[in-house]
Amino acid sequence: MRKASKQPPKRLSHYDAAGRASMVDVSGKQANLREAEARAFVAMSREVIRALPRNPKGDPLEVARIAGILAAKRTSELIPMCHPIPLSKVDVDAKIEKDGVSIHTLVRTTAETGVEMEALVAASVAALTVYDMCKALDKGIEIREVVLLRKSGGKSGDYQRAGGKGRGR
C-alpha cells in the first residue's frame, strides 16, 4: 500500500496538451471496485457540544449525515472536472468528541474512476452542515482536518494516509 508522498506528482492530470483544463478520459480504464474514506473535524466549545441535543433545527449530526450523503451523490455538479459516477455505497458517520464533532465518510463504486472527491465532498458538506446547525450559538466554530484517509482500487493503486485510521470495510 502506498503511503503519503512529499514529492510533487509527475504531472497534473486535468490539463490537455495545450495546458487547458480538461476532464480526464477514463474510457480506457477498467471498471472495478473502488473505495475512499475521508474525515473532517468540527471544533467547537463544550457549551455548543452540550447544546447539540437541544438544537431547535433538529439533530445536527443526523442532518449532517444526510447532507454528506447527498453531497457525495452530487460531487460532479460541484467540482468541474469530476465524472458523474454511480455510487454503490455512501456512509457518513458523525460523532461527538471531547472538543467537537468528528465526521468520517466511506464511499464505494464499481466504476472506471475513483471516489476520493466524493468522500472528501461528503466530509466537507457534513462539516459545513454541523456549522450551519450550530452557528447561532458560536460563529467561532472551526472546520479542520478535511483529509483523505485511504483509497483503494484503480491504476494508481491503494493509498493509506500516514497515521490515518480508515475503517477498511
Q: Active-site positions?
A: 132
- Answer positive or negative: Cα dihedral of 33, 164, 5, 84: positive
CA dist., res. 5 & res. 3, Å (int): 6
Residue tagged 452530487 (cell numbers):
74
CA dist., res. 38 & res. 155, Å (int): 20
SS3 state at 71:
helix
3 DSSP 8-state letter? E
Cβ atoms of residues 88 and 73 within 8 Å: no
SS3 of the chain: helix, strand, coil, percent, to 5: 25, 30, 45
Q: Which residues pair with 94 in a beta bridge?
A: 103
Cβ atoms of residues 159 and 56 within 8 Å: no
